[in-house]
């Protein structure tokens, strides 16, 4: 299933010189992970506090781009510079779901936007990521399948937030887009479970 996640290798190549510089300066993967999580929460809270001024939603696309860069950087520091750790694995997954929630929930404060549909998208985002994390528990890899993975959500929400800030999208269309996101997230959850089980079956020794 196509996903923006598949563009990650090319994105990493662009960031590699910066990652080398950060490593030389003593920056660790866990520091970057926590930094991305904290800034996501601060950004989400800031948007929620001023949600009546729709221009503030421009912070979402700006931060989504920077957050994707930081997520790529922490992964590269961990894998390519020997900084992988059990703590890092916990921080990576926990900070991601906290950041997702902090950046999705402020949309519910826009007048006439359905709180229920925003909460549904928030929960489905958590469940879909959890389904990916469960892969290693059943003998598969950590699943990042689409069509609505983390990178895809960042892109869609960034475009949506830009439209909101510029006054191009009203509450009705916001609800429609969130409804589509919810459907795609549900499919992503099923897709990750299905492909995880298929991977285990394919890797099982023949009788």
Q: What is the pLDDT of residue 35?
A: 97
Helix axes 59-80, 8-24, angle to 10 degrees: 70
Q: CB 27: neighbour CB atoms within 10 A?
A: 18
**For the residues of 7-48, what is the DSSP string, one character each?**
GHHHHHHHHHHHHHHHHHTT--HHHHHHHHHHHHHHHHHHHH
Q: What is the pLDDT of residue 11?
A: 72
Alpha helix (H) residue ranges in 81-170: 86-104, 115-133, 150-165
Distance CA 131, CA 108 (A): 25
Q: What is the pLDDT of residue 4?
A: 56
**In the chain, which residues have pLDDT < 50?**
207
Q: Which two tokens stand for residue 198?
A: 């298929």
Q: What is the pLDDT of residue 6?
A: 59
HSE, CB side, 13 Å, CA atoms: give it for residue 198. Answer: 8
Q: What is the pLDDT of residue 2?
A: 54
Query: How many angstroms from the chain centroid is the CA of residue 166?
Result: 24
Contact 77, 28 (CB under 8 A): yes
């Amino acid at each position: 299933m196509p996903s923006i996640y598949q563009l990650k290798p090319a994105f990493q190549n662009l960031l590699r010189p910066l990652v080398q510089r950060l490593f030389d300066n003593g920056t660790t993967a866990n520091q970057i992970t926590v930094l991305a999580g904290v800034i996501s929460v601060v950004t989400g809270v800031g948007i929620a506090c001023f949600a009546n001024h729709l221009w503030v939603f421009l912070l979402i696309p700006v931060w989504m781009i920077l957050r994707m860069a930081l997520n790529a950087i922490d992964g590269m520091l961990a894998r390519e510079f020997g900084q992988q750790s059990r703590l890092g694995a916990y921080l990576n997954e926990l900070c991601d779901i906290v950041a997702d929630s902090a950046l999705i929930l402020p949309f519910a404060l826009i007048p006439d936007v359905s709180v229920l549909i925003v909460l549904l998208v928030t929960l489905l985002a958590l469940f879909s990521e959890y389904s990916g994390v469960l892969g290693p528990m059943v003998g598969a890899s950590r699943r990042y399948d689409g069509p609505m993975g983390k990178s895809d959500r960042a892109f869609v929400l960034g475009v949506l937030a830009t439209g909101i800030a510029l006054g191009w999208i009203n509450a009705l269309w916001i609800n429609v887009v969130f409804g589509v996101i919810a459907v795609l997230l549900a499919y992503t959850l099923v897709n990750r479970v299905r492909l995880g089980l298929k991977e285990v079956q394919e890797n099982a020794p023949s009788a």
